[in-house]
Every structure is written in C-alpha cells, then in structure tokens.
Amino acid sequence: MDRVGKVVLALAKQDLFINSTLVNFGSSLLWQMFREGIIFNDALFLNLKEFRAQPLKIAA
C-alpha cells in the first residue's frame, strides 16, 4: 500500500475534529507550564463517546 492509501485509512479511523481537540488540550498544558512554571498532569484520556477528559498525573 502506498503512502496516500495509508493516510486515507488512518483518517478513516479518526473521529472528526479529534486532532484539533488534542491540539487545544496540549496548548493549554503548555500555556500552564509557561505561565506557572509547573504542570501536574502530563497526559489525558479523551473519551469521545461520553465527552469526558481524564487527566493523568505526573508520576512522582
């Protein structure tokens, strides 16, 4: 399978706007780090069926 075919298959598996949603979460995390100098979460689980995001704490 060529590169274009792989891209088409990958996009077919994604929900609409998932990339922009993740960019917004990531941007907010970076902005908090720049403004406050510290972050307490380094990732999240995003459940699109229930419209919930669960932050993951940074392991100590």
Domain of residue 11 covers 3-57
Q: What is the pLDDT of residues 6-52, one digit of tens each?
A: 988 888 888 878 888 889 999 999 999 999 999 998 889 999 889 99
| Total domains present in the chain | 1
Query: Model's pTM, two decimal places?
Result: 0.65
What confidence score (pLDDT) does residue 12 get? 85
3-state secondary structure 11-57: HHHCCCCHHHHHHHHHHHHHHHHHHHCCCCEEEEEEECCCCEEEEEE
pLDDT at 60 over 80: no
